[in-house]
Structure 1
Amino acid sequence: MRRSRTRTRARAERSVRRRRPALVAALLVVCFMVLTACSAIPTRGPVGVIPAAEPEVDAVAPAFDPVGPAPGATPERILRDFITAGTGAGDGYSVARQFLTPELAKTWKPEERIVLFRSDPRVEKRETEGVYQIQLETTGTVDSRGLRTNSALPASETLGVRMVQVSGEWRIDDIPDGIMLAQSSARDLLISHNLYFYSSNYRYWVPDARWFVRRTGVTARIVSAMLSGPAPYLQGSVTSAFREGVTLARDSVPITSGTASVEFSSEVLEDATSLGLQQMNQQLQANLLGLNDVTSVQMTSGRPIELGDPAPELVVPELTPDVGGEQVAVADGELVRVRNGATVPIEGMPSVAELQPRMPATSVSGSAYAFVNGDRSTLFVSAPGSEARGVVTGTALTRPSFDPENWVWTTRASGGRSSILAVPPGGTEANAAVLAAGWLGDRRVDELRVSRDGSRALIVADRDGTSELLIAGITRSPDGIPQTLTTPLALPVTGDIDTAAWAGQSTIVASSLSADEEATPVILQLDGDQETMAALTGVLAISAGSDAEDTLYAQAGATLYRRIGNSWVDEQLKVSDPAFPG
């Protein structure tokens, strides 16, 4: 178990991350209001946020002050000290470069790949003179784009190294690009930051979690990562206002009195419309506001870029879609709303008791409902004032999920494989979209939940008896028809996972299910952070609203429990299969 101080610190950091979207949303609204009042981006912000004498002040790492090579040091000592020197990012990793030959020092790329490790590295000499290897017990990696891959279980990696003598001192002549950081130091040396891209309909911001070394210049690296495009699993499901080929014109983003001045290459103006420029401005704000006290942005390309009057088509995307505080559930065989600690009938909803409803879902507007019957062979949709109608039949249908356009999603089993269907509003199986997802292979899908922005699908799958928690991007036609699921991002989980739910845009709650065994639900952040909840016996379902702090519930037996801190409090409501909209 973690120490109390570690838990407190982690909780505080999550609290900061939860507040940041609200801050950015508020700042975006303010900046949009300013945009409607003038034709150019504001060039001045609150005086004194960042002194003009310091053109760029980035997140500064804690004081890590590694030393250079010791005279007469052995090759093993040089390698161990080189690893330690990777914690010193100042002056372009000048200390770490002292351990390299002059030729390698010029070409070595320290942030090309960051290997995170636990326990002490092992350095071994090989039979060939000057050849060594570094063995690491790894917990994950961060690539040059800031994409972090975490291992559910500790893995190992071996790096080959060649050493030579330079003026009588051992130096590294060949080693893979990158640095090695102890997991215990990663939180201090790295910062997590969500990049934001537009959903395909430009109505929502979709987060893309990245990690960057905490050093001067981080603002420019964040903008460069944004210009390079989304993570692989989001490609095709989100869009950027910046065309391919646009780059930063210089390697820094000066911040003066709260205004970040971002100078782009000339490609930014090629075929650019007023709407396109204003969407670029919005995306830049979404990515930078609140970072290093940035309160406004200024786009330039040789000179300040004029935005013109707000285009009629310009909308402010939602940063954190709000699904409200009400849930849909089943009580006494009927669909009910769970509101303020009580169950209330759904006004105008005909009885569905004879269908033995299970696993209900509702649209964000509350105008449509869906559920499966007792043996999960038919998916029904209904609405107040309308009789339930079956729209999909099959075997082992999963809990339905509504996307923002009111398509109803489910999966069904056939021949040992799972297929994914999305039924349009008012549609049936005849005009449902069957999504291509060749990567599913022989995986059995146990659950599928569409994110509240409609751009991602959260999937719980079983592969040869092993649980997998996956996030795939949803690609759509120009008309918004779902087409494919991208090759997914795998989230690290240990043990059995039977169900999962979105708890906001960047948070997921997952748990095993059992009528009589103990479960320990886990809260996962897209940036890799995890928090294990208190154990609860007999968990049969979990549900989450717009965040995991205030709107996280678990059904244990026939009773609903609510999260309070790290504990579960019995709401004393006899309901089953609760679900927030979506």
Structure 2
Amino acid sequence: MPDSGEVQPVRGANPGDSQVRVYAVAPRENANPDDIVDGFLEAMTSDDPGFSTARKYLTARAAKSWKPEQSITVLSTAPDREPADRGADPEIQGRAYPISGRMIATVDARHAYRANSPVEYAQAIHVVEETAPNGKDKEWRIDSLPPGLVLGEADFLRNYRSVNKYYFASGEDWLVADPVYIRQRQDPVTRMDPVTQTVKALLEGPTHWLRPAVDSPFPSGTELRKGVTTLTTDDQSTLKVPLNVKADRFGGEVCRRLAAQLLVTLGDLPSVRVDQVELQDVTGGAVCRLGKGQAADFEVVRDTEQDETPYFVDDDGRMMALDPGGKDVVPPEAVPGPLGRGVVRLGSVAVARDGARAAGVSKDGASLHVASIAADQEQLPAVFRSSAAAGAAHEDRLSQPSWDGRGDLWVADRAKGHQRLVVVPDGTGKWIEVRTPWLTEDTRVESLRVSADGVRIALLITREGRTTLQIGRIERENGADEQVVSVEDLQAAAPRMESVSSVSWAGPSRLVVVGREAGGVQQIRYLQTDGSTSASSVLPGLNGVLGVAAPYKETEPLIAASGNDGIVRLMPGANWQPVVKSGTGPVYPG
């Protein structure tokens, strides 16, 4: 600490880049094999450009062939390096170091995160002696290693962040979220900043799982112009994106739709504010411009300024509406129409996205009814009935229904021997049985929630006594007589939870889940649809949660039904607050 000299101003660090950073350290001269392996594992967690320091731990041949961008293996903790097999002759065979851990996810070359139930991970890093650059001495170096990067979850979340790319639902004019992971800072391989990484990931196309259900309007081979590693906005918050294609290949509506994808996608990045996008062709000329207001026309939930109203079912089987979220608790009111009058005692309800209609399943689970909740009307006949035998238990009949953004109504019939998913077009048309090749006799759909975009469905599925959360892809085809609807390619969304009891969509690609991990207590937490999470995603504790409902906007309260406290709400930044002493089945529109 100096005690003399002049005072000099020091520029403060950027507050947006205050996270811990790891700087790689090159191998020291004559380092032993243990230090070589440990140093390399540490260097993989750094932001070193091109992973150049990490490559110094490899033989010349391995350094050229190693592709850290190929994949990421995510372990629950940093990989364990076990002692080398001392029985082998190091002069002839080198030394093999077992690398182990609990694998919880993988990330592919398209940046798609895929969670899995924790499984044992076992690989090896092999070191040999290689002639040093001076041509005389020998140094230990790694000549064989696992593919891509191997990171503990903490290091992965420190270096990468989740971003939603957006693509158009097949044949539609609204966008669907496609979550991927990009580097928090400059990408070591491409040298791109987060904005440029995000644009590049969007232009690469949708992830393999989502591809069959979405469209990409831009021409095949569309990329950023060669050499672009930084994209910044001008003083009017306009982002100019130089592409490698001629204007005549992506002009007009194609350009406008791509600009909308970019605007909505970049809205997920906290590091940049983009109010307008300008797409440029290979010559640098502007092809089209699009502002935030115009891009909003392509979002599936467009009226985001209107308050979202939560609903629930009271003890008399009536559908009740809650105050949208004022500071003071306001007593609930019965909705207009037959669902609020209790003409049919209800067990569960769902509200259409426009807030004008609702669907209710009868208390015994036998029938599904649709009625207006904006005006009074007579009770309408059931739009669908369970095929369960007379006297069947409620849980062997209809599930709670769910509406998608198209205005179609979904429900699961859990009748033994006749399990099926059903969709009712527009809530009034002839019901269609959904193709579900995975729905076998020993599989039971406990509940379902369809995303606002109508492309994804969250399912609570029970097999062999365990209830898990699965995300399915909804595909639609025009058949000879009617539309063919199927739910394909189920993916585990909460594989680390031993059981899940309730789920709700909480925005474009986020879910609120009630469940418990093995040996743990019940918890409520946010999850991405790809199964990724963070330590900050766990919500304040609440006892005996029976159901949960999340709004599309983060500014509205979370609503839950508790066996101990009735209907409660969680305002942003607050604790759970009682609203109604008793009630079940809380829902927001959807």
Tell me the TM-score range normalised by the shorter chain.
0.7 to 0.9
Shift of the 121–499 alpha-carbon distance from structure 1 to 2, 3 Å rule, reads: same
Q: Is residue 281 of structure 1 aligned with residue 259 of structure 2?
A: yes
Q: Is residue 328 of structure 1 aligned with residue 320 of structure 2?
A: no
Q: Is residue 166 of structure 1 aligned with residue 125 of structure 2?
A: no
Shift of the 388–358 alpha-carbon distance from structure 1 to 2, 3 Å rule, reads: farther
Q: Is residue 344 of structure 1 aligned with residue 333 of structure 2?
A: yes
* 8 Å Cα contact 1:320-1:505 kept in structure 2: no
Aligned residues: 517
**Corresponding residue of 1:97:** 55
Q: Deviations over 1:43-83 (max 9, x none)?
A: xxxxxxxxxxxxxxx97975422111122222222111101
Q: Is residue 380 of structure 1 aligned with residue 381 of structure 2?
A: no
Q: CA deviation at 1:352?
A: 5.9
Q: Deviations over 1:295-351 (max 9, x none)?
A: 3444233213544699xx997222755473322322333223223532223234477
Q: 5 Å matches for 1:79-478?
A: 79-117=37-75, 118-119=77-78, 121-126=80-85, 129-132=93-96, 133-153=98-118, 155-167=119-131, 168-200=138-170, 202-213=172-183, 214-215=185-186, 216-217=191-192, 218-258=194-234, 260-266=239-245, 269=247, 271-288=249-266, 290=269, 292-293=271-272, 295=274, 296-307=276-287, 316-318=297-299, 322=304, 324-331=307-314, 332-339=316-323, 341-349=330-338, 353-383=342-372, 384-394=376-386, 395=388, 396-416=397-417, 418-425=419-426, 427=428, 431-441=430-440, 442-477=442-477
Shift of the 314–529 alpha-carbon distance from structure 1 to 2, 3 Å rule, reads: closer
Shift of the 251–123 alpha-carbon distance from structure 1 to 2, 3 Å rule, reads: farther
CA distance in 2, matches of 1:485, 1:184: 34
Q: Secondary structure at the match of 1:316?
A: helix
CA distance in 2, matches of 1:357, 1:518: 31
Q: Deviations over 1:98-132 (max 9, x none)?
A: 11111221221112122233155123434652251
Q: Is residue 528 of structure 1 aligned with residue 533 of structure 2?
A: yes
Structure number with bigger Rg: 2
Q: 5 Å matches for 1:500-511?
A: 500-511=503-514
Whichever residue aligns with residue 432 of structure 1, its letter is W
* 8 Å Cα contact 1:549-1:563 kept in structure 2: no
Where structure 1 has 5 or more consecutive residues not aligned to the other structure, the ranges are: 1-57
CA distance in 1, matches of 2:160, 2:81: 24
CA distance in 2, matches of 1:410, 1:141: 33
CA distance in 1, matches of 2:169, 2:253: 16
CA distance in 1, matches of 2:230, 2:448: 44
Q: Secondary structure at the match of 2:414?
A: strand
**Corresponding residue of 2:9:** none
Q: Secondary structure at the match of 1:387?
A: coil
The answer to which of 498-507 and 128-137 deviates more is 128-137
Shift of the 351–257 alpha-carbon distance from structure 1 to 2, 3 Å rule, reads: closer
Whichever residue aligns with residue 443 of structure 1, its letter is T
Give the structure, 1 or 2, with the largest relative contact order (CA under 8 Å, sep 6 or more).
1
Q: Deviations over 1:415-462 (max 9, x none)?
A: 55732111012535xx32222232344431111111122221111111
* 8 Å Cα contact 2:402-2:409 kept in structure 1: yes
Q: Secondary structure at the match of 1:438?
A: coil
Shift of the 495–161 alpha-carbon distance from structure 1 to 2, 3 Å rule, reads: closer
* 8 Å Cα contact 1:113-1:178 kept in structure 2: yes
**Corresponding residue of 2:392:** none
**Corresponding residue of 1:555:** 561
Whichever residue aligns with residue 358 of structure 1, its letter is G
Whichever residue aligns with residue 137 of structure 1, its letter is R
Q: Secondary structure at the match of 1:511?
A: strand
TM-score when normalising by structure 1: 0.80
CA distance in 2, matches of 1:319, 1:366: 15
CA distance in 2, matches of 1:355, 1:444: 26
Shift of the 333–261 alpha-carbon distance from structure 1 to 2, 3 Å rule, reads: closer
Q: CA deviation at 1:94?
A: 0.6
**Corresponding residue of 1:487:** 489
CA distance in 2, matches of 1:257, 1:545: 32
The answer to which of 79-88 and 551-560 deviates more is 551-560
* 8 Å Cα contact 1:61-1:189 kept in structure 2: no
* 8 Å Cα contact 2:219-2:250 kept in structure 1: no
Q: Deviations over 1:150-187 (max 9, x none)?
A: 3454x321223332221111111122331222333333
* 8 Å Cα contact 2:23-2:47 kept in structure 1: no
Tell me the percent identity: 24
